[in-house]
Amino acid sequence: MDKHIRPVFTLELGYKILAGLVTIGKYDGTHPCLTVATSTDKVLIHNPHRKVNNSNQVGKVIWSESNRELATLNINSMVTALAAYAVLPNVSRDILIIGTATNILVYDVHDNRDLFFKECEDGVRCVTVGNGQMILVGGNSSVHGYDHLGNDVFWIAVGDCVTSLSCLPDQKLIVSSEDFYIRIFKGGDLESELNETEAVSNLLGLPNEKFAYSVSNGTIGVYEKTSRLWRVKSKNFAISMLSYDLLGRTTGPQLITGWSNGKIDCRTLTTGEVLFKDTMNSSVAGIVEADYRSCGKCDLICVSIDGEVKGYTKTKAAAEGSNGIEQDTIKHLLSQKQALLMELKHYENNVKFNSNIMNETESYEARGVIPSNTRLQIVVTTNSDIETTSEAHVEVYICTNNSTIIKAVILFAEGIFKGESHVVHPETSKLASGMSIPLYLPKDVPIDIHLKALIGYPNSVQFHVFEITKQLPTFSMYRAKQVHVKPTSWVEFQINERLQRLCMWLNQNFILSEDIELTSEDHLELSLECLRDKTVLVIRFDISGKSVIFTDNIFLAADLVQCLANYLKIEGLESKANFPKEEENLKLLMQKLSDIQEARLKLDTDVADKFGQIRNLVVAAEDFRINDLTEMLECYRELDNVNKSLINGFNIKAQNYSEGIETMKSINNIIQKASRVRVGEFSTKMIGHCRNAIKNNNIDGLIKILRTGEP
């Protein structure tokens, strides 16, 4: 049901705009100004509301020379994030927040003054404002919160580059990061964690606890709480999303998405059905909403990377709209009826054939039908004959219960294949009634496998499709193995739960060849081996409630604790952790970080000094142009040298910077995992302690916190 909506205004900014860096702010409290970041390290403010040049009037902005509606702000380094929010308490005008790779500038456009300018060691990837006017900055491995004075008031470690932030009501914060997770935090606590197949590039909080997301592989979708309502995939990827009621529906706003090929589409929030489409001449840079024509209602404003701006407005809820819905429903029902009739016909055929089976001499094979009692069975194991195969894996074995064969199998699962599906079709000579499929699971998460098998006979032309859904347990990539030496690292915690229940948990979350049973009265011990790297994992529960997980992998320990806490519905869990290797690693990383920071300072000075030299040389060269041409050449030659060394210096700096980012990321990753071997408030408290320790560069303190959770 495409509806044609024409733009209500179009204009050209005449600048190249960075994708995603578009926002709109009411810097004087009433008039919205489109604000974009350009590829020349400037921020552009477009203000169509300026009154005719009247310099006596205070409160009106000066018109710039070239384009009278544009004002530029010099930022001097690549802009990475841009946002405009009312941050000051009791002040309704919006404040512009500009993030660059290393700094954040909170700038009052109206008064031309900084609220604060702060160095963010962790970088700035995205910015939003929420939880009571707190400025939230997503960095390379953490989220920092600042108040309007620039005080650091909030901190959570994320573990990988934050790609997007969005706030929901009641202090909830959604964070997406490059490790493919979407995490929902409430206050400082991790409330839930959703896994996607690729890095999520955009998040948008919607009303009724919904939020929309877009993935860098071209998927967009909507979640309600933690369950996905819908998703669609496209060749292009979404740059910007906004909820706006373009069609004037009574059911609420629609989701507007801007794509990298310039397409803009409008979908319903609940089903993702496309209601309206339009295209810009180049990739979309951002979509915002504001009353841009001063006519009292909000327009939808789309900006492309070439500076094209299009404005759309809400269309009137046309009478034919309801008509359209009726027709639509009838069409939908008709097609459904058609499909059902077809299915019925098939069934009738099959019944007729099966009833005649005694009289027929022909085999099933020729007719393309299979016995009605054919069943497909599925077994999931970890492959035990580890020596024979090259790599350990999880094995999915399917077979039929009669002589029919499996022609091909299509597997759908998220995040374990390169795409989202995997097809297995053996050669014709190897067709059999059973088949095993190896799976390599990269992460310890529960996975739903949707399996479609084509069943028939070797010579059949038509095949029957059997569908099975199987959920793999969280810790599939582990198998039971007797070990004698326990790993030196461990997590110890106290849980008050019957051993039977823990036994159940183990059976549910691991693939074990036979369910383990409680053999001893006073303790339960299970030793396992990881199929990925052959490390050993030992889990031991005592009757006293003392539980220990022995593993060298802190990430695995964190996952186990979280999974267990979730299963037993534990609100808060305190634990002791001992990971000597990680501690050693952390020490090295902290040392490396301080070295890098020191070097960075020196490099910065170098660059600044060279700038000074260049400045002098340019001026001197200009002077010599008048007096002495040979000297001028000398000057320019030197200028060339300085320039070259400046470029060298820059490369070194870039290297240093990326190393610093990596180190910071590893540190935050360890802290995040260490916090997750605790649950609930203990985890939050520990992160707070860690932050203080890092601020004071207290390495020993930090390690003690990792061990005990207390400083």
Partner 1 sequence: MDPMYLALSLFRRRQYDKCVEICSEILEKQPLDQAVWCLKMRALTQRVYVDELESEENEIEDDFLDSNVVATAPRPGTSLKTPSSVNTNKSLGARPRTSTGRPISGVVRPSTSRCGSGLERLRTSRGSTGQSARAIRLGTAAILSQKDGPFIQVSRLNLSKYAKNKLLNKSIFEYLLYHEGDVRNAMELAVLATQACEFKDWWWKIQLAKCYIALNLVREAEQQIRSAIKQTPHIENYIRLIRIYIRIDQPLTATEVCKQALEIFPNDVSIMTELARLTEELNEPQASVKYYRNIVIQDAMNTEAIACIGMYHFYNNQPELALRYYRRLLAMGAHSAELYNNLGLCCLYSQQLDLTLACFQRALDLATDPLVKADVWYNLSYVAIAAGDVSLAIQCLNLCLCADSSHAPAFNNLAVLHHKNGKTHLAKAYLVTAKGHQPALPEPVFNLNVLQNDH
Which residue number, 175 or 590, has a Cβ lying nearer to partner 1?
Answer: 590
CB of 603 to partner 1, least distance (A): 12
Q: Which residues bind partner 1 (CB under 8 A)?
A: 55-56, 58-64, 71-76, 103, 105, 107, 109-114, 117, 119, 598, 601-602, 604-605, 608-609, 611-616, 618-620, 622-623, 626
Beta strands in 48-89 (DSSP E): 70-74, 79-85
Structure token pair of residue 114: 């900084």
Tell me the longest C-alpha to C-alpha distance in the chain. 115
Backbone angles phi and psi of 614, in degrees to 5:
-60, -45
Contacts of 383 (CB under 8 A, 6+ apart): 389, 392, 393, 394, 395, 438
Which residue number, 425 or 602, has a Cβ lying nearer to partner 1?
Answer: 602
Smallest CA-to-CA distance from 311 within 5, 534, 542, 669 is with 5
CB of 108 to partner 1, least distance (A): 8
CB of 608 to partner 1, least distance (A): 4
Alpha-carbon separation of residue 86 from 109, 131, 155, 171, 237 (angstroms): 12, 13, 21, 17, 30
Which residue number, 2 or 604, has a Cβ lying nearer to partner 1?
Answer: 604
Cα–Cα distance measured from residue 654 to residue 660, given in angstroms and rounded to the nearest whole number: 10
Q: Helix (H, G, I), strand (E, B), or coil: what is residue 138?
A: strand
Tell me which long-range contacts 535-543 makes (C-beta under 8 A, separation of at least 24). Answer: 535/487, 536/481, 536/483, 536/485, 536/486, 536/487, 537/478, 537/487, 538/483, 538/486, 538/487, 539/506, 541/495, 541/499, 541/502, 543/499
CB of 78 to partner 1, least distance (A): 15
CB of 286 to partner 1, least distance (A): 22
Which residue number, 150 or 218, has a Cβ lying nearer to partner 1?
Answer: 150
Tell me which long-range contacts 463-467 makes (C-beta under 8 A, separation of at least 24). Answer: 463/407, 464/370, 464/374, 466/376
User: What is the identity of the amino acid at 384?
Assistant: S
In sequence order, what DSSP letters do the residues of 583-641 get, joined into one string? HHHHHHHHHHHHHHHHHHHHHHHHHHHHHHHHHHHHHHHHHHHHH-HHHHHHHHHHHHH
CB of 615 to partner 1, least distance (A): 5
Structure token pair of residue 410: 């299509």
CB of 662 to partner 1, least distance (A): 24
CB of 483 to partner 1, least distance (A): 48
Which residue number, 114 or 448, has a Cβ lying nearer to partner 1?
Answer: 114
Beta strands in 247-353 (DSSP E): 254-259, 263-267, 274-279, 284-290, 299-304, 308-313
Cα–Cα distance measured from residue 507 to residue 527, given in angstroms and rounded to the nearest whole number: 13
Taken in order 187, 188, 190, 196, the sign of the CA dihedral is positive
CB of 301 to partner 1, least distance (A): 22
CA 363 to chain centre: 54
CB of 598 to partner 1, least distance (A): 8
CB of 619 to partner 1, least distance (A): 5
Half-sphere exposure at residue 167, Cβ-oriented, CA atoms within 13 angstroms = 20
Which residue number, 584 or 622, has a Cβ lying nearer to partner 1?
Answer: 622
Which residue number, 150 or 321, has a Cβ lying nearer to partner 1?
Answer: 150
CA 484 to chain centre: 41
Structure token pair of residue 533: 């790297």
CB of 118 to partner 1, least distance (A): 8
Alpha-carbon separation of residue 584 from 587, 663, 681 (angstroms): 5, 14, 27
Which residue number, 103 or 354, has a Cβ lying nearer to partner 1?
Answer: 103
Which residue number, 17 or 71, has a Cβ lying nearer to partner 1?
Answer: 71
Cα–Cα distance measured from residue 121 to residue 664, given in angstroms and rounded to the nearest whole number: 9
Which residue number, 327 or 616, has a Cβ lying nearer to partner 1?
Answer: 616
Which residue number, 515 or 604, has a Cβ lying nearer to partner 1?
Answer: 604
Which residue number, 106 or 266, has a Cβ lying nearer to partner 1?
Answer: 106
